[in-house]
Amino acid sequence: MRPAARVNRIKPSPSTAAAQRVRELKAAGHTVLDLTVGEPDFDTPDHVKAAAVAAIERGETKYTPVNGTPELRAAIAARLARRHGLRYSSDQITVGGGGKQVIFLALMATVDSPDEVIIPSPYWVSYPDMVLANDGVPVIVDCPEADGFKLTPARLEAAISADTRWLILNTPSNPTGAAYTAEELRGLADVLLAHPQVWVLTDEIYDEISYGHGQLPTLVAVEPRLADRTLITNGVSKTYAMTGWRIGYGAGPAELIGAINTLQSQISSCPSSISQAAAVAALTGDQGFVRDCVAVYQGRRDKAVKLLGDIQGLSCLAPAGGFYLFVNCTSLLGRRTPAGQVLHTDEDVTRYLLDTQRVAVIHGAAYGAPGYFRISFATSGDVLDESCQRIARACADLS
Ligand code: PLP
């Protein structure tokens, strides 16, 4: 087998690799506290499952329109109108097999070599590889903790070139939990208005999971003049604990959506009809489940931020949204483990935590930010407590 060049350019997701290492340890009989997971630990709500069963019983088991059922596109349009006051017609919305697929297809539909895609770092692991797979050039822009891990107008301006095709914004962010305020988006919008060649992909997959900041704003609502070059992507995976159902969506200019649909027609024909029916129920049904989950996440977040904050050598900002903590471990670098090994990198730190304490986390370099590690709090409060205690022990054992 001779892999295509695009395969050689990319690597499997590090979170998948970490999950594999956890599975191996578990298979060898070890108990591992797994803080690598990128999905809610809750079950899909019953009314959503019931809607899927009803769809099967009604015989909705055939291909749907390439861009999703009219009912689901209407539910998505209604959500965008309700939440942000934005109007999208049904030809400005597409549904795919997860937000991931929609993002990939958007890049596939628009990026040619040597187009550049600006990716603020820390970033979701998939963005650079998706750009590379589609012959683009990822332009990574460092957004340090001192800036709240957020892109500033000055950094954006400096990163834009004549070849810039896209800026990818992820708010709230995986892995940092940073979320942009309307004022911050305003600042970025002012830069973008001066560069009409730059489109914006705003990935809002965690937008319902936010803490004490009210409803999070979206770029197009802040600056409507960017509507004809902005794609909003989202999905039901994180909000409704539906990662396995594989439904995500994009809302943007009809021409871009049409190009995505053309690709989708040759790639998957359409997303699962049954999952689409379930997604309609999720988006249009009672939202109590979402409120309950966010309250639980918030409790875990507050506790974990406190416990980690008490550990000498670690610190982390409280995330504004999502279910991850991005922990600064730079103070541990250069220190020595009881076995005599010096911790040179964040990857050494995560390996040390796994080997000695059986706590699995993901190293920051995977997200473009060496010196950090990511903890997911989409896990039980007990696991989180015990993990923090073990991490504290591991840090105390260093000399
Ligand atoms: N965007 C971000 C930032 C994510 O973290 C994820 C999943 O981990 C996705 C998009 C894709 O989610 P899905 O394909 O399940 O909709």
Q: What CATH number does the domain containing 328 carry?
A: 3.90.1150.10
pLDDT range class, residue 369, cuts 50, 70, 90 = very high
* Ligand 1 nearest-atom number relative to CA 237: 15
* pLDDT reported for residue 16: 72
Instruction: Give mean pLDDT, residues 105-116.
Output: 97
Cβ-contact 129, 164 below 8 angstroms: no
Give the residue, out of 203, 205, 323, with the most ligand 1 atoms within 8 A of its beta carbon, to mutate for a pocket test.
205
Residue with the nearest Cα to atom 7 of ligand 1? Answer: 38
Query: Distance from the CA of 232 to the center of ligand 1, in angstroms?
Result: 13
Do 51 and 191 lie in a common domain?
A: yes
State pLDDT tens for residues 215-266.
899 999 999 999 999 999 999 999 999 999 999 999 999 999 999 999 999 9
Asked if 69 contacts 273 with a C-beta cutoff of 8 angstroms, the reply is: yes
pLDDT at 317 over 80: yes
d(CA 107, CA 163): 14
171-202 residue pLDDT tens: 999 999 999 999 999 999 999 999 999 999 99
Residue with tokens 């810039």: 164
Cα separation of 143 and 147, whole Å? Answer: 6
- Reply yes or no on whether the pLDDT at 395 is more than 80: yes
Domain boundary among 284, 308, 343: 284
Same-domain pairing of 63 and 31: no
- Show the domain range for 10: 5-43+289-396
Number of domains in the chain: 2
On whether both 153 and 251 belong to a single domain, the answer is: yes
Q: Which residues of 106-143 are buried (b: 16+ CB within 10 A; e: fewer)?
A: bbbbbbeeebbbbbbbbbbbbbbbbbbbbbbbbbbbeb
**Separation of CA 337 and ligand 1 centre (Å):** 35
Across the chain, what does the average pLDDT equal? 96
Q: What is the DSSP string of 59-72?
A: T--S---TT--HHH
Q: Which atom of ligand 1 is nearest to the CA of 243?
A: 15
pTM: 0.97
Residue 345 sits in the same domain as residue 380: yes
Give me the residues paired with residue 137 across strands.
116
Region class of 66: left (phi > 0), else alpha (psi between -120 and 50), else beta: alpha
205 Cα: distance to centroid of ligand 1 (angstroms): 6
> Does residue 213 have a pLDDT over 80?
no
What is the number of the ligand 1 atom nearest to the C-alpha of 203? 1
3-state secondary structure 162-182: CCEEEEEEECCCCCCCCCCCH
Quickly list H helices, the chain: 5-9, 14-27, 46-57, 70-84, 99-110, 126-133, 153-159, 182-193, 219-222, 254-267, 273-284, 288-309, 346-357, 381-396
Residue 338, pLDDT score:
97
- Ligand 1: distance of its center to the CA of 100 in Å? 6
Helix (H/G/I), strand (E/B), else coil: 35: coil
| Residue 295 CA, ligand 1 centroid: distance in Å | 21
If you measure from the C-alpha of residue 331 to the centroid of ligand 1, how many angstroms do you get, rounded to a whole number? 31
Which of 16, 100, 168, 275 to mutate for ligand 1's pocket (most ligand atoms within 8 Å of CB)?
100
Cα(45)–Cα(298) distance, integer angstroms: 19
